[in-house]
Amino acid sequence: MELFAVPGLPEIREGDDLAAMVDERVDLRPDDVVCVASTVVSKAEGRVFDLDEFPPSPRANEIADRLAERSGEEKDSRFAQAVLEESTELIMETPFLLTATRFGHIGVNAGIDRSNVPGGDLLLLPKRPSESAARIREGLSADRVVVTDTCGRPFRHGQRGVAIGWAGLPASRDWRGERDRDGRELGVTVQNVIDELASAANLVAGEGAGGTPVVVVRDWAFGDHDGSDSHFREVEGDFVRQALREWDYEDS
Ligand code: GDP
Ligand code: MN
Ligand code: MN
């Protein structure tokens, strides 16, 4: 397989047709996977906001005060309000905000970015990234689209690319029922390919001022496996999420 960034994309603004902009810069093939950083999807969808658009509720004030106390830094309660409005559940509120977004993704600060946001203070994640992916796919000469974000992860330092939306391919390759080299039947392996593609694409996209938010993955085949669209865990069965609800920063 081969990965390359789409060259020459300008600063993306609300209303821009990302699919057309990509299609006119690259000769796409039907089986290419086009990986698009959520940053530019959000910009195109007008998800740029000023902090003043989030007048803080008492709850947001309380959260910001507690975070400020813990960190010794000033915390903006309008930012806490934006995070609350984007979230269906506050999973951790100290020493940082870990929340579940409406579309199922769990992330720090509900994935709200403060970098690469000209013209505003905040960039919110796309409302429904898989619908964004499907819309972008409609306008492309390629059949597969992944919307990515850069996220931290538990247990490891550093951030990496993950998939938050997808269209035209399954989220996972299901290896269950297939055999390993010893002939043993695989019982649990469901390989999440969209995260793996997102990570690879993010490696090419970079994080700073590079200006390469769209990466094409060429000559990658899903192969002859069953597919599954399960990506975000449901609350039932997500034992780490359940444990975090009961965890208290004060006891750690
Ligand atoms: P995120 O991972 O989705 O939060 O996106 P990042 O902010 O990390 O940006 C990923 C890549 O896209 C970097 O190379 C940025 O320089 C680039 N980028 C961000 N916004 C724009 C834009 O409006 N236009 C272009 N051409 N590049 C952008
Ligand atoms: Mn981001
Ligand atoms: Mn990034």
Is the CB of residue 90 less than 8 Å from the CB of residue 66? no
pLDDT recorded at residue 142:
98
Distance CA 35, CA 33 (A): 6
Domain limit, last residue, from 101, 124, 147: 124
Domain limit, last residue, from 80, 104, 124: 124
pLDDT recorded at residue 71:
85
**And the tokens for 150?**
């850069």
Q: Is residue 133 part of a domain?
A: yes
pLDDT recorded at residue 250:
79
CA-angle at 41, arms to 38 and 42, nearest 5°: 85
What residues sit around ligand 2, an ion, with C-beta below 5 angstroms? 113, 149
- pTM value is 0.96
pLDDT recorded at residue 45:
98
Successive 10-residue mean pLDDT values, the chain, 252 residues = 98 97 98 98 97 97 94 92 97 93 96 86 97 98 98 95 98 92 90 98 96 98 94 94 88 78
Q: What is the CATH number of the domain that holds 23?
A: 3.30.1330.100
Cα(30) to ligand 3 centroid in Å equals 26
Give, for ligand 1, the residue of 16, 108, 116 to mutate: max count of ligand atoms closer than 8 Å to Cβ. Answer: 116
Domain limit, last residue, from 108, 124, 140: 124
Q: What is the span of the domain harbouring residue 207?
A: 1-47+126-232
| Rg of the chain on CA atoms, in Å | 19
Cα(116) to ligand 2 centroid in Å equals 9
